[in-house]
Structure formats: structure tokens, C-alpha cells
Amino acid sequence: MSKRKLNRRQKWRIEKIQQERAARVSKKDQEIDQQLNAGDLGAEQEGLIIAHYGRQVDVESLAGEQAGKIHRCYMRANIDTLVTGDKVVWRPGPDNDGVVVARLKRNNDLVRPDTRGQLKPVAANIDYIVIVFAPEPYAHANLIDRYIVAAENTGIEPVLLLNKTDLLNEDNTPRLIEMAERYQEIGYKVLTASTKDHDGLDLLKSLLDDNVSVFVGQSGVGKSSLVNALMPGINIKVGELSEQTRKGMHTTTTAMLFHLSDGGDLIDSPGIREFGLWHMEERDVAEGFREFDGLLGGCKFRDCRHRQEPGCALRDALEEGQISPERMESYHRIVESLNEL
């Protein structure tokens, strides 16, 4: 058969398709290529997002000669939002720059509402949400339960950390020990620490080692002090983050991933520290109480509020001692607070 000859119409169609393709290479990608001198880009490799700045991200090389080096990278236009903790495929550029070409699958993410109330991820691939509480400021069990519920809803394991153990005394100890034991009975790990007299830091370090964690908890429980103790030299100013947050200046400050001196990573930002204190749905609250597992749906009435209703599976469990009165009370208080928001 003779060589296929394109008629004018076919030629025109092919040209049109090519033009469309070219147009699809977005303006943004062209800009990136110009900026990076695309010919100089290195081979694709895996990296870790350690910070996010508007249109750019800091990517740390995970393997090869470059392992541990940080490149300020652009993102290809077709990439979904990237957050700190994301694993990506990227190509290094010549000047500690580069371009992210794909995002790898996330194990989980931590979300918070944006200004329009829509939930947006702020960090990804986290192993532990460490809920910090202390003798001072006063540790409200209800607030701790709220953090736990929020953590349970992300699928990330919450761990409780009683900090400032140097402040334990005859008055506050019995209550805090009782609280700690209650959480242990439900199945949560409870650690203790003091940055003042270096209590418990080794156990904490071994938990954090090889994992990615975040610290949450009310202002003043000692999160910055813990970060400083775990990363000598980093010097997050104690009390500084909250002060900036109060002024409303830095609430959107990027989440940063830090490598701890003795292993493991920590992701920290003012936004992450406020984790769990925003609106949630009533059903999410019930599902956030681990000891309710297997009981929800067992009530006589489908719309049971678990108060005075007959045949309530949760109230039966409460009477049999499977659910503690404090946690039941906490559940109701959190549900009531939802209507106040």
C-alpha cells in the first residue's frame, strides 16, 4: 500500500489537536520551566514536604547523594494541594530549587476549617497526635476528651502526655493520676514528662523515634518547651507562638516538619496546636469515644440521645461500669457545646 497521504482536512485536525495540547501545558508550568531552565532538571526521585510557602514548597531529598538536602520547589499545575508531611516525586533543579511532579498517596491528614469553614488538610502522614496536659493550666478532662475525639476522627493514634510533673503535689496528684488511669483503661497510652527536671523525656523520645508526631493541647501546657527539649538548638521561643496567635498575626503560619535530635519527626504550627477545637458533628463525637465501639446502634431507639431513654446501650454499659461516668458526662457536654458554636 502506498504511504498514507494526509488530506488537508486531516492535516488541519492534527494541527488543531497539537495546538490544544500545547495550550494545555499550563502557563504556570511554562513559567516554572523558564525559571528552572528545564533542561537542567535532574531525575525524578522521592521527597518529603517539610514546609509550604504559598506557591512553593521545601522538599527534602529522601535518598541518594542528595539525601537530607532541601530544595525550594515549584509545583506542577496538575498537582493536588500539597501539605507538610506529604511524600512527593520531584526533580531537583541546579540551584537548590526544583519541581514537584506528583504527590504520593497519603496515609492520613490533619484538617482544619479555612476562612469559609471548609475543611482543608494542613499536615499529612502523621503517626501520633500527642495531647499534652499539665497540672497548670488546670487540666479539664472535657477538653482532653475533645482533643481525643478530634484525633479519633482522623484515624491518627492519640497519645496523652502529662507534662510538668515537677508541679505535682498532694492537692493535684490524686485527680491527675485518676484521670491518667481512666485513659489507660480505655486503651490510651499515657506518658509523663517534665522539661524542668528532665523527667520522662527518654520514654517520650522512644515513642517519637521513627514516627511523625504533632503536639496539641491548650496554651501554656509546655509544648514549646518540649519541642526545645527534644531539639536543642531549635529555640522555639516559649510563649511566643501563642502570643502571635492571640494577635491574629500568625495563625496561618506554615506547618514545619522538624527532625528530632534522637529520631522521629515533629510537625508544628499555630494552626496545628489549635487542632480539635472547631466544630464537629454529633455522630463524630460518639464515634470519637473508643469505649462506645460496638455499642452505638445497639440502643432501642435509632435516634437515642443516650440520656433517659429506655433500652439505651450506652446507659446499660455505664451501669455495668464499662463506661466511666466522667466520660459519659464529657460526651454529653461536648454534644451540648456543638449547639453553642
Ligand X SMILES: Nc1nc2c(ncn2[C@@H]2O[C@H](COP(=O)(O)OP(=O)(O)OP(=O)(O)O)[C@@H](O)[C@H]2O)c(=O)[nH]1
Least distance (Å) between residue 339 CB and Zn ion: 18
Q: Does 304 bind Zn ion (CB under 5 A)?
A: yes
Cα 175 to the chain's mean position, in Å? 30
Rounded Cα distance, 257 and 275, in Å: 16
Strand intervals (E) in 163-317: 190-192, 212-216, 256-259, 265-268
At 188, give phi and psi (nearest 5°).
-90, 145
Decide if 59 contacts 71 (C-beta within 8 A): yes
At 112, give phi and psi (nearest 5°).
-145, 155
CA angle 314, 316, 322 (to 5 degrees): 75
CA angle 201, 202, 206 (to 5 degrees): 115
Nearer to Zn ion, 255 or 304 (CB): 304
Q: Annotation-wise, does 217 bind a ligand?
A: yes
Largest CA distance in the chain: 99
Q: Closest residue (Cβ) to ligand X? A: 242
Q: How many CB atoms lie within 10 A of CB 150?
A: 25
Rounded Cα distance, 183 and 189, in Å: 8
Q: Annotation-wise, does 224 bind a ligand?
A: yes
Among Zn ion, ligand X, none, residue 122 binds (CB under 5-8 Å by kind): none
Q: Applying CB under 6 A, which of residues 224, 254, 269, 330 lies at the interface with ligand X?
A: 224
Contacting range for ligand X; rule: CB under 6 A; set: 10-18, 31-39, 239-247, 255-263: 239-247
Among ligand X, Zn ion, none, residue 148 binds (CB under 5-8 Å by kind): none
Nearer to Zn ion, 167 or 296 (CB): 296
Beta bridge partners of 259: 265
Q: Does 317 bind Zn ion (CB under 5 A)?
A: no
Q: Does 312 bind Zn ion (CB under 5 A)?
A: yes
Binding-residue pattern over the window 126 to 165 for ligand X, x denoting contact by CB under 6 A: -------------------------------------xx-
What are the cell numbers at 84?
Answer: 507538610
Q: Annotation-wise, does 298 bind a ligand?
A: no
Binding-residue pattern over the window 252 to 291 for ligand X, x denoting contact by CB under 6 A: ---------------------x------------------
Least distance (Å) between residue 153 CB and Zn ion: 20
What are the cell numbers at 26?
Answer: 499550563
Q: Applying CB under 6 A, which of residues 29, 157, 166, 316 lies at the interface with ligand X?
A: 166
Rounded Cα distance, 103 and 168, in Å: 46
Summarize the annotated binding site for Zn(2+) as residue ranges: 299, 304, 306, 312
Binding footprint of ligand X on the chain (CB under 6 A): 163-164, 166-167, 194-196, 219-225, 238-239, 241-242, 273
| Residues within the interface to Zn ion (CB under 5 A) | 299, 304, 306, 312, 314
